[in-house]
Homo-oligomer: A and B are copies of this chain.
Amino acid sequence: MPLTHPERVAIARLHAMLELLPTAFDKRLGAVGVTAFEHTLLDALAHSEDGFMRMSELAHKTNATLPRLSRVVTSLERRELIERVPCPSDGRATNAVLTARGAEVHELSQALYASAVRELVLEGLGRLPGDGVAQLTDLTYAVLSSLDADHPRAASFGGDPEPECAADPVPTCDADPVPACAADAID
């Protein structure tokens, strides 16, 4: 059974957004020499108070596969923005730690990212009748919920070895129970 016309219109636009937004973000961040995904990694590390994170945890938080992360981290390591440090307590694990230069670049990329968010998304949302940000929050939550059922990882996350994840020191919002992988950078 085919989709209704309003449904097709909505999906066509969603599809266009899916195609255009990531590229637009990458272009903006290109000015400081990082991709949007790389910025996400720097950001995740910068916000983890310990300044480091396990590869698999990082992959989970950023909705990335481990091979992808591994390669990007290698690239960031070559640029000395991130350093790989073997985990002392678990011989299998590797921690990615932000270097001083990495923190500097993150400062820049964060500013650029914020302005990109404003210009590419928030500005448009501001033209909506109601509270555009709230609408986007609810809408993405609705979609991500059904997506997570479909999604390999996520489903929910019970045992996270790192304590900082469970007991969040930063005053977060009234945090709706968004499945872990979907919500990620919530803090």
Report yes or no: B12 in contact with A22, Cβ–Cβ below 8 A.
no
Q: What chain B residues lie within 8 Å of A117 (beta carbons)?
A: 3, 7, 11
Nearest CB in chain B: distance from A155 CB, A: 13
Report yes or no: A21 in contact with B143, Cβ–Cβ below 8 A.
yes
Chain B: CB-nearest residue to A117:
B11
- By a beta-carbon cutoff of 8 Å, the part of chain A in contact with chain B is 1-3, 5-22, 24, 40, 62-64, 110, 114, 117-125, 127-128, 132-147, 150-151, 172-173, 178, 181-187
Known A-B contacts A10-B140, A14-B136, A173-B5; the reply to A20 vs B63 at CB < 8 A is: yes
Nearest CB in chain B: distance from A20 CB, A: 6
Known A-B contacts A22-B18, A63-B19; the reply to A139 vs B132 at CB < 8 A is: yes
The complex places the Cα of A128 from the Cα of B17 at a distance, in Å, of: 21
